[in-house]
Amino acid sequence: MSKKNSLSEVTFSRYSLALYELAHESDSVNEVEQQALTIVDLISKSEDLKFCIKSPTISKKELENLINSISEKTNMNELLKKFLFFLIHKRRFFYVDKILGEFIETCSKKRGEIKAELISAKDLSESDVENIKNDLSNSFNSKIKLTYKNDKSLVGGLILQVGSTMIDTSIKNKLQKIEKQMVEA
Look at residue 2 in the predicted model and tell me its pLDDT: 46
Look at residue 5 in the predicted model and tell me its pLDDT: 52
Residue 132 in this model has a pLDDT that exceeds 90: no
Average pLDDT, the chain: 86
The number of helix segments (H) and strand segments (E) in the chain equals 8, 4
Distances (CA, A) of 163 to 50, 116, 143, 152, 159: 30, 6, 12, 24, 13
Residue 152 in this model has a pLDDT that exceeds 90: no
Residue 1 in this model has a pLDDT that exceeds 50: no
Domain 2-109: assigned CATH number: 1.10.520.20
pLDDT tens-digit map of 48-106:
888 888 888 889 999 999 899 988 888 899 999 999 999 999 988 889 999 999 999 89
Residue of higher predicted confidence among 172 and 31 = 31
pLDDT tens-digit map of 134-148:
888 888 888 888 889
pTM to 2 decimals? Answer: 0.70
Residue 17 in this model has a pLDDT that exceeds 90: yes
Residue of higher predicted confidence among 109 and 23 = 23
Q: Which residues pair with 41 in a beta bridge?
A: none
Residue 4 in this model has a pLDDT that exceeds 60: no
Residue of higher predicted confidence among 127 and 6 = 127
Range with the largest mean pLDDT of 2-6, 17-21, 146-150, 156-160:
17-21
Domain with CATH 1.10.520.20 in the chain: 2-109
- Beta-carbon contacts of 119 under 8 Å, excluding residues fewer than 6 positions away, are 148, 149, 150, 151, 154, 158, 159, 160
